[in-house]
Structure 1
Amino acid sequence: MTPRLRRPIHSRSAAVLTVLSSHTALAYAGTGADRVGRKGAAFALGSTAAGGHTTYMLLIDPDTGWFLAYEQILTAGPTALDVELPAVLSYRTYLQAESITKMP
């Protein structure tokens, strides 16, 4: 079952990304597509907290501000996992969303 995401209105989505990019290493990474083929604006944040280099990718519809997908990708470094790098560690694809005006 794919989790549902309640998204803030479009202007709030843009505000969240602006704040995150000004206070973290979150950066625009171009365009991409989710696992069902929807295109969106990709944002990436790198981390070495787990010993290897992990990239967190967020895909957002540029017209609506809806979050389309999220992926955690192991891109480099030592790993006890028997996987070829880069390796997707987890992902979520949001197929359904609803607008809200305030948090429940």
Structure 2
Amino acid sequence: MNEKNHENCPLTQALLVIGGKWKPLIISHLQKSPKRFGQLHTLIPKLSRKVLTSQLQELTRDKLITRHSYAETPPRVEYRLTEKSKELVPIFQSMSKWGMYLIDKKIIEEREDN
């Protein structure tokens, strides 16, 4: 595929929205229930607060999650999956199974940046 056709490549477009190290993890953690910022930060400890904020903003912009603010004191904000992102859950589950296969067969070595 030549370079100017990449913008029409469905896989490229999908990876632009869900690609990267953190977005799949964030979506995965939100699949069972809504989470607050601090909960997500605790669940993904190697993710900095700055990057988490950025990733949540991008996922919200791309309509994969919603941000719900409650009119309470102190303020409370929860993030939850949209119907659009719930379609990703079985895909991520399949990818997780494939990842376990790679680990079990020692096809990939553990990386220090995990």
**TM, length-normalised to structure 2:** 0.28
Higher relative contact order, chain-length normalized (CA < 8 Å, sep 6+) = 1
Structure with the higher helix share, 1 or 2: 2
Greater Rg over alpha carbons, structure: 2
Per the normalisation by structure 1, the TM-score is: 0.31
